[in-house]
Structure 1
Amino acid sequence: MRLLSVASEVYPLVKTGGLADVAGALPAALAQEGVVTTTLVPGYPAVLAAIEGERLHAYPDLAGGPATLVRAKAANLDLIVLDAPHLFERPGNPYLGFDGEDWPDNAHRFGAFARAAADLGSGRVDGLVFDVLQLHDWQAGLAAAYLHYDPPARRPGVVATIHNLAFQGVFPAWLLGPLGLPAEAFALDGIEYYGQISFLKAALIFADRITTVSPTYATEIMSEAGGMGLHGLLAGRGEVVSGILNGIDTEVWNPATDPALAVTFDAADLDRRAANKAALQRVFGLDEDPGAFLIGSVGRLTEQKGMDLLPPLMPELIAGGAQFAMLGSGEAGLEAAFADLAAAHPGAVGVRIGYDEALAHAIEGGVDAFVMPSRFEPCGLTQMYALRYGAVPIVARVGGLADTVIDASPYALAQGVATGFHFAPGSDASLRAALARAMAMFAAEPKAWARLQRNGMATDVSWASAARQYAALFAAITPPPFSA
C-alpha cells in the first residue's frame, strides 16, 4: 500500500508542534504494517538545506511563480518537496511573519501545496501512484476539494487527520477563484464557512475518513462545546470519525540512551534520575535541593494550554517546597508573567523563553512532575515523553491527556495501575488540589511515587498500536488498481 502523507512540517526538518513529530515518526511504524509512506512537505529553507534530490515535476506557474517537485531522502524519510521560493523561501516560522501575524498569502501558499498533493494523488505526476492521501490539518485540506471538483480516473482514498480543530484555515470567499475552485464550491456542502472558506472544512467534508489524534478528542469535537463551529458537520459524519491515539518516537525519546541527559537511566535504576534533577537545577539557576518538588513544563504559553492558571498558584507551591522549571513561548502577557515569577522567586523558578530540543529532553528526564493544564488537548505528546522519562504527569482531564494518563485515584492506586494525576480543565481549584496530592505523595510516600514512575515508564507509548489502526483504515478505503 502506497501512502502520501501531506504535512506542512515534519520532524526533524522543520517543527513548530506535535504535527511534525507525528509526520516524522509514523512512516517507520507504518512500514512494519506494509505501508510505504512518501511525505509531501513545503520547501522551507531548512528543508531544502537538508536534502539533495532529483527533479520530479516542474510547474511553470504555481500560485504566481515557478515551482518544482523534488524527490529526496532525509532523516530516513522518503520525501517529495515542493520547492517554490516565492511561497516558502522565508526565514523563521512556517506560518507567521516576524510580527507574529499569519503570512498574508497563506491561502496561496497552502493552496499551492494542496494542489501539488492533489496532482500527486491523481497520478498526474509521471511514475507515481498513491493509494491513499493522509491530509494533516488545514494546510493540506484543500487537496480533498481539488480531488472532488476535478476527479481523476482513479481517485485515491482520502483521510483527513485533525491535530487541532482550533486551526481551520479560514480565508475570504473571493479567494475561491484564484485558488482554482469552481463557484459551486462556495456552498454549505462545499467549503463555505460562515461566509468565508475553510481549508479544514474541505478536508472534513470530502474525505473518506476523518481521524483525530485521540479517542476522547474524537468525541469532544462532535459536541457543541468542543466542535468550534464544526460540530454539526462532524457529528453528521460521525460514522467516519475515529480517534487514533498518537505515539512517540521511542528511539529519539529513550532515557536509557538519550545524549541530552546528564545521566541515562531506565525503570530499574530510577535513583540515577537524581543526577539529572541536580543538573537541571543548575541549568535553570535553581537551588540544588534533592528534596525540592521540581515541577516542569514545556510548550506554548497560551490560554488553550491553560498556562495562565499557573502563575497565581506558584507562590504557595514554592512556600510549600516546590520548584518550577519552564521552557516555552507564546502570548506576550504570559511570557511576561512567567518572567516576573522567576524574578520574584530566584532559586525556585527558572524560565526559558523559546524552544530548545535538548533542554526539553533534559526537563523530562530531570523534573519530578510534569504539568499540563490544557483547556483542550487533542492528544498531547509531552505527557507521553514524561511517562517515558519517569516524570509523573499532572494533567487536565481532557482529550488525549485523559486517554494516556491514569489518575492516582484510590482504586487505581489499589490496583497498582496509576501513572499520574488528573484535574478538571480550566479549574484553578482542581489544579491546586492535584498539585497538593502530588506533592504530598512525593514527600511522604516515596515507594508509591516510584510506583507511579515505573508504571508510567512501562506504558506503551510507541507508534505500534496506532500504525496497526491506521493501516486497517487505509486498507478499507484503498481503491482498486487501474484496469488494464
Structure 2
Amino acid sequence: MRILQVSAELFPLLKTGGLADIAGALPLALMAAGQEARVLLPGFPAILAGVADAAPVAELTAPWGERARLLLGRITTAGAPDTPAYVIDAPALYDRPGNPYEDPRRQPYADNHRRFALLGWAAAQLAQGLDPGWQPDIVHAHDWHAALAPAYMAFAPRGRQPRAGSVFTVHNLAYQGLFAASHFAELGLPAAAFSIDGLEYHGQLSFMKGGLCFADRLTTVSPTYAREIQTPEQGCGLDGLLRSRAEVLTGILNAVDDQVWNPATDALIPHRYDLRRMTGKVRNKAALQEELGLAPQTHAPLFVLVSRLTEQKGLHLVLEGLDGLLAQGGQLALLGSGDAWLEAAFKQRAAHAPQSVSVTLGYSEATAHRLFGAGDVTLVPSLFEPCGLTQMYGLKYGSLPLVHRIGGLADTVVDATIEDLASGEATGFAFDDFGAEGYARAVRRAFALYQRPADWRAVRASAMRRPADWGSAAAQYLGVYAAALNPRPSPPP
C-alpha cells in the first residue's frame, strides 16, 4: 500500500510538540510493516535543510495564484531506512522568523489559512497523480494544518485513476484552525464545501471541521479520547459531528519510537541503563542535580515536568502543590515555555528555592532526555490530554508518571492502588478529581511508595516493561487504511 503522511512538522527536522514525534515515527513503522510510505511537509527552513537530495517534481500554482515548487528528497534516520519526503518549496509562505505558526511576538501569521491550505491542496494533487512516478493509495492528514486534504480530495474531479482513500487524525481537538469566512473564496473549493455539512463553523471557516466532515476515516490518538470528544465536555463544539461519524472514528494509542526513546541506547543521557542494570539512573540523577544546581540528595524524590506551560496542562495545580512537595522533601526540575504568567511564577519559585526547584524555559531535546533519565516521577496533571507522550517517556525511563486520569493518560497509566500493586499492574499514580486536593493526594501517594523501596522498584519495573511499540499501532492504522479504501456511506453530519 502506498501511503502519504501529511503534517506540518516532523521529528527530527522540526518539532514544537508531540505531533512531530508521531509524524516521524509512523512512516518508519509502516515501512517496517512492508508498506510504501512517504511524507509531505511545508518547506520551513529547518525542513528544507534536513531533506537530502531534494529535486523538483512539479511546479505548483495555488488556487489563489501563488507559485511554488514540489520537491522530493529523503530524510535520513539512524538505524532505519530513509523516508521519502515531498517538500513544498514556497519561501514567501514558509521562510519566516518565529515558529511554524506564529511570528516572534507569538501572534499567528495573518495568512496561515493560505500557508496550510497549500499543504492540503498539494496532498490532493498528489492523490490525483501529480507525481507520475508515485501515486498514493491513502492520504493520511494530521491535525488542522493538513485537514483540508480530505476536503480537496472529496471535491476533486473523478478521473480514470483509482480513487485514493483519506484518513484524518485529530491530535488535539482544541486547536481547530479557525479563520474568517471571507478567506474561503481563496481556497479554490466549491461553494458547497462551505456549509453546515462542511467547513462552515458558526460563521467562521474551520479547517478541522473540513477534515472531520470529508475524510473517509477518522482517528484520534487514544481510545479514551475518541470517546471523550463525542461529549459536550470534551467535544469543543464538534461533538455532534463526531457522534454522527462515530462508525468511522477509531482511537489508536500513540506509541514510542524505540530508536529515539530508549534508556539502554540513548546517547543524550550521560549514563545508559535498563532493568537489569539500573545504576545508570542513579548516576543520571546525581549528574542532573549537579547540572541544575539542585541539592545533591540521592534519596530526595526528583519530580520532572516537560511541558508547554499552559493551564490546559494543569500546571496551576503544580504551583499550588509545590509547597507540599518541597515540605515532603521532594525536588522539581521543569523544562518548558508558554504562558507568561506561568513562566514568571515558576521562575520566582526557583529563585526562592534554588536547591530544590529548577526551571529551564524553552525546549531542548537533549535536556528533556536527561530529565526523564534522571527523574523519579514525571508530572502530567493535564485538564485534558488526547494521548500524551510525556507519560510514555516517563514509563520507558522509569520515571513514574503522575497523571490526571483523562484521555490517553487513562489508557497508559495504572494507579498504584493496593490491588494493582498486588497484581503487578501498577505503573504510576492517577487522580480523578481535577483540583488541588486530588493532585495533592496523588503526590502524597508517590512519596509513600518512594519510602518503600522494594515496592517502588516493582512498580518501576512494570512501568518500564509496558509495551508501547509502533508495530502494534501501525497494524491498527493499516486496518483503518483498508477501510478507507472501501468506504461505506455514512449519514450526513
Is the structural similarity TM-score above 0.5?
A: yes
Output the amino acid matched with 1:74. Answer: I
Question: Which residue of 69, 80, 84 maps to 1:78?
Answer: 84
Choose which of 392, 408, 412 in structure 1 pairs with 2:420.
Answer: 412
Matched-pair contact (CA < 8 Å) for 2:401–2:427: yes
8 Å CA contact 1:371–1:395 kept in 2: the answer is yes
Partner of residue 29, structure 1 = 29
1:334 maps to what in 2? 342
State the match for 2:20 in structure 1. 20
SS of the residue corresponding to residue 190 of structure 1 reads: coil
Task: Give the CA deviation at 1:38.
Answer: 0.5
Which residue among 446, 456, 475 is the counterpart of 1:468? 475
Q: 1:479 to 1:35 in 2, by over 3 A?
A: farther
1:213 to 208, 221, 224: 221
Q: How far does residue 430 in structure 1 lie from its aligned partner after superposition? A: 0.6
Partner of 2:199: 191
C-alpha separation between the residues in 2 aligned to 1:284 and 1:426? 30
Secondary structure, aligned partner of 2:147: helix
Following superposition, the deviation at residue 197 of structure 1 comes to 1.2
Which residue, out of 274, 292, 297, partners 1:266? 274
Give, as a single letter, the amino acid of the residue that structure 1 aligns with 2:114: H
Partner of 2:106: 100
2:11 corresponds in structure 1 to 11
Q: Which residue of 2 aligns with 1:343?
A: 351
Distance 1:12 1:107, change over 3 A: same
C-alpha separation between the residues in 2 aligned to 1:123 and 1:246?
Answer: 31
Say which of 117, 133, 141 aligns to 1:135: 141
The 4+ residue runs of structure 1 with deviation greater than 3 A are: 60-65
Alignment of 1:39-50 (within 5 A): 39-50=39-50
Q: Which residue of 1 aligns with 2:370?
A: 362
Q: Distance in 2 between matches of 1:172 and 1:383?
A: 37
SS across alignment from 1:304: helix
Which segments of 5 or more consecutive residues in structure 1 lack a partner in the other structure?
none
Task: Give the residue type in structure 1 aligned to 2:168.
Answer: A
Structure 1 counterpart of 2:485, from 474, 478, 483: 478
Offset from partner CA, 1:211-233 (integer Å, 9 cap, x none): 00000000000011010000000
Q: Secondary structure at the match of 1:177?
A: helix
Bigger shift: residues 296-305 or 269-278: 269-278
1:38-58 Cα shifts (integer Å, max 9, x gaps): 100000001111223110001
Q: How does 1:303-318 map to 2 (within 5 A)?
A: 303-318=311-326
- Deviation of 1:85 after TM superposition, in Å, equals 0.7
Partner Cα separation in structure 2 for residue 162 and residue 405 of structure 1 = 21
Mapped to 2, the partners of 1:184 and 1:77 lie a distance apart of 37
Shift of 1:106: 0.1
Deviation string 1:347-392 (CA, Å, 9 cap, x unpaired) is 0000000001001000001011111010000010111111111101
Aligned residues: 479
Aligned equivalents of 2:331, 2:117: Cα separation in 1: 46
Do the aligned residues in 2 keep the contact of 1:35 with 1:471 (CA within 8 Å)? no
Distance 2:115 2:20 in 1: 18
Secondary structure, aligned partner of 1:269? coil
Q: Judging changes above 3 Å, is the alpha-carbon distance between structure 1 residues 9 and 425 closer, same or farther for their aligned structure 2 residues?
A: farther
In the alignment, the residues of structure 1 paired with residue 138 and residue 185 of structure 2 have an alpha-carbon distance, to the nearest angstrom, of: 27
User: Which residue of structure 1 lines up, in the alignment, with residue 401 of structure 2?
Assistant: 393
Q: Secondary structure of 1:20's match?
A: helix
Which residue does the alignment assign to 1:290? 298
Task: Give the alignment partner of residue 211 of structure 2, picking from 195, 203, 210.
Answer: 203
* Alignment correspondent of 2:79: none
- For the 8 Å contact 1:376–1:425, the answer to whether it is kept is no
- Separation in 2, partners of 1:479, 1:57: 30
Residue deviations 1:207-254 (CA, integer Å, cap 9, x gap): 111100000000000011010000000001111111000101111111
Deviations 1:150-169 (A, max 9, x none): 23323311111000001111
Question: Per the alignment, do residues 197 and 425 of structure 1 end up closer, same or farther by CA in structure 2, a change over 3 Å counting?
Answer: farther
Q: 1:116-148: per-residue Cα shift (whole Å, max 9, x none)?
A: 011011223323211001010011111111112
Separation in 2, partners of 1:77, 1:337: 42
2:240 matched to which residue of 1? 232
Cα separation, 1, equivalents of 2:385 and 2:35: 28
Q: TM-score, normalised by structure 1?
A: 0.97
Which runs of 5 or more structure 2 residues have no equivalent in the other structure?
Answer: 77-81, 488-493
1:396 partner letter: H
- Out of 111, 120, 131, the position equivalent to 2:126 is 120
**How many angstroms apart in 2 are the aligned matches of 1:144 and 1:333?**
39
C-alpha separation between the residues in 1 aligned to 2:62 and 2:156? 19
Alignment check: 8 A CA contact 2:4 2:136 kept: yes
More displaced stretch, 32-41 vs 344-353:
32-41
Mapped to 1, the partners of 2:178 and 2:163 lie a distance apart of: 26
Q: Against the structure 1 CA distance between its residues 181 and 208, is the aligned structure 2 distance closer, same or farther, given a 3 Å change threshold? A: same
Pairing of 1:241-256 with structure 2 (within 5 A): 241-256=249-264
> How much does 1:103 deviate?
0.7
Structure 1 residue 63 displacement after superposition: 4.4
Partner residue of 2:150? 144
Q: Work out the CA distance in 1 between the residues paired with 2:72 and 2:486.
A: 24
Q: Give, in whole Å, the separation in 2 of the partners of 1:77 and 1:92.
A: 27
In structure 2, distance between residues paired with 1:297 and 1:147:
41
Post-superposition offset of 1:262: 1.7
Question: What TM-score, normalized to structure 2?
Answer: 0.95
- In 1: Cα distance, 2:324 partner to 2:484 partner: 54
Provide the rounded CA distance (Å) in 2 between the counterparts of 1:426 and 1:100.
Answer: 29
**1:113 & 1:346 partners in 2: Cα distance?**
46
Q: Does 1:89 align with 2:90?
A: no
Residues 425, 358 of structure 1: alpha-carbon distance in 2 compared, 3 angstrom cutoff: farther
Q: CA deviation at 1:78?
A: 1.1
Q: Percent identity?
A: 47
> Letter of the aligned partner of 2:169 in structure 1?
T
Alignment-mate amino acid for residue 20 of structure 2: A
